[in-house]
């Protein structure tokens, strides 16, 4: 194989075939993908959940993950938050001419590892190569299909008195990517990138009446919670002292002028649950390896309709708006 990706690898000819046969298939092999069709025929169910996403993170490799891991976990998580069991993914690579073949191998291997961990298969895909200077290395688009196991999740279910939970420390991914991009000292700060389908199933198996699940990616916890209540007669009030933030992440955000509540997360989820289910949900999170630092961080109220507010550690209160613009560009 060549040391770099040339335009020939996107031609659909021998080099494209060699790329698939020598790199893609050995690592992502399964019967459906082996057919090498434009689509895949897969087993389904009465209700399917379909999702698509694109990944343009910079840098491509960062502490705790890379664009390949991110693309699999991100799509698995989108399906899981809908109450689905993720089953099948597609993957399209848009590669810039001159991209190192060794880095593409690392990315594909990372995707294979995450697929195995999450119990999903990449069953179809596509590769395009663009001229040098027009692609910024590599972009990945994925689509995912899952079987709906827990219908009815959605913000319309939220009621006054419901509890808001988060599955762990917030702001890790966005902070790690920003520090890596600027080649700054990171210490123990790493992305939390992980597939959440196991954690989701653990929650819903003990508390099927959970109102909504969501992974707070771009825009972070604050933007996601705003989306739950905007335009409604309900508000959410957070307790700043209960929100888990790593000290080193808080210190890095202070240095960079960022707010952890607006930093992306790629391995955390938010849940809104009825008061009688909140402790069960919290216990289910803490009993799972991805939820050991989970916490109840707030409550749904009828005060301040349509707004997210937070009681600060100093006893005051402030409104948390949705993120305006890009606090952290190119983080997923």
Where are the chain's structural domains? 7-148, 155-319
What is the pLDDT tens value at each position of the chain, 332 positions in all? 788 988 778 756 778 878 888 999 999 988 878 877 665 666 766 789 999 999 999 999 999 999 999 999 999 999 999 999 999 999 999 999 999 999 999 999 999 999 999 999 999 999 999 999 998 999 999 999 999 999 989 999 999 999 999 999 999 999 999 999 888 766 789 999 999 999 999 999 999 889 999 999 988 999 999 999 999 999 999 999 999 999 999 999 998 888 999 999 999 999 999 999 999 999 999 999 999 999 999 999 999 999 999 999 888 999 999 876 566 666 77
Longest Cα separation, the chain: 67
CB atoms under 10 Å from CB of 120, counted, come to: 23
Which pTM does this prediction carry?
Answer: 0.91
**Looking at residue 235, what DSSP letter applies?**
E
pLDDT for 208-224, tens place per residue?
889 999 999 988 999 99
Residue 123 phi/psi, 5-degree rounding, is -110, -10
Cβ-proximal residues to 247 (8 Å cutoff; 6+ apart), any chain: none
Cβ-proximal residues to 174 (8 Å cutoff; 6+ apart), any chain: 220, 258, 262, 263, 264, 265, 327, 328, 331
pLDDT for 294-309, tens place per residue?
999 999 999 999 999 9
Cβ-proximal residues to 114 (8 Å cutoff; 6+ apart), any chain: 68, 69, 72, 73, 76, 195
Side-chain-side CA neighbours of 204 within 13 Å: the count stands at: 23
Burial label, 183 (beta-carbon count in 10 A; 0-12, 13-18, 19+): exposed
Q: How far is CA 219 from the centre of its chain?
A: 12
Pick the CATH number of 7-148 from 3.30.1330.10, 3.30.470.30, 3.30.360.10, 3.90.1580.10: 3.30.1330.10
**Looking at residue 253, what DSSP letter applies?**
H
Pick the CATH number of 155-319 from 3.40.1390.10, 3.90.650.10, 3.40.50.620, 3.30.70.270: 3.90.650.10
Picking from 110, 283, 81, 284, the residue whose alpha carbon sits closest to that of residue 196 is: 81
């Amino acid at each position: 194989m060549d040391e770099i990706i040339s335009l020939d690898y996107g031609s659909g000819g021998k080099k494209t075939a060699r790329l698939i046969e020598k790199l893609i298939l050995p690592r992502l092999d399964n019967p459906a993908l082996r057919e090498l069709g434009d689509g895949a025929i897969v087993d389904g169910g009465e209700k399917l959940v379909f999702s698509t996403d694109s990944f343009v993170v910079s840098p491509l490799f960062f502490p705790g993950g890379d664009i390949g891991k991110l693309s699999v976990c991100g799509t698995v998580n989108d399906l899981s938050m809908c109450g689905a069991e993720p089953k099948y993914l597609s993957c399209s690579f848009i590669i810039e001419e001159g991209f190192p073949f060794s880095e593409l191998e690392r990315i594909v291997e990372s995707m294979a590892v995450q697929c195995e961990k999450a119990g999903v298969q990449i069953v179809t895909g596509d590769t395009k190569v663009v001229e040098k200077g027009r692609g910024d290395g590599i972009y990945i688009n994925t689509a995912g299909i899952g079987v709906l196991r827990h219908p009815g999740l959605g913000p319309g279910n939220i009621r006054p008195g419901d509890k808001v939970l988060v599955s762990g420390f917030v702001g890790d991914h966005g902070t790690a990517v920003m520090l890596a991009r600027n080649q700054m000292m990171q210490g123990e700060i790493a992305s939390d990138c992980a597939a959440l389908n196991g954690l989701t199933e653990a929650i819903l198996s003990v508390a099927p009446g959970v109102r909504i699940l969501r992974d707070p990616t771009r825009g972070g916890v604050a933007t996601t919670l705003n989306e739950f209540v905007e335009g409604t007669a309900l508000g959410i009030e957070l307790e700043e002292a209960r929100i888990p933030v790593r000290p080193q992440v808080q210190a890095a955000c202070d240095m960079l002028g960022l707010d952890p509540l607006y930093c992306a997360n790629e391995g955390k989820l938010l849940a809104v649950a009825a008061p009688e289910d909140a402790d069960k949900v919290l216990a289910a999170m803490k009993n799972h390896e991805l939820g050991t630092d989970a916490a109840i961080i707030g409550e749904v109220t009828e005060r301040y309709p349509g707004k997210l507010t937070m009681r600060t550690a100093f006893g005051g209160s402030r409104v948390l708006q949705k993120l305006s613009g890009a606090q952290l560009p190119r983080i997923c």
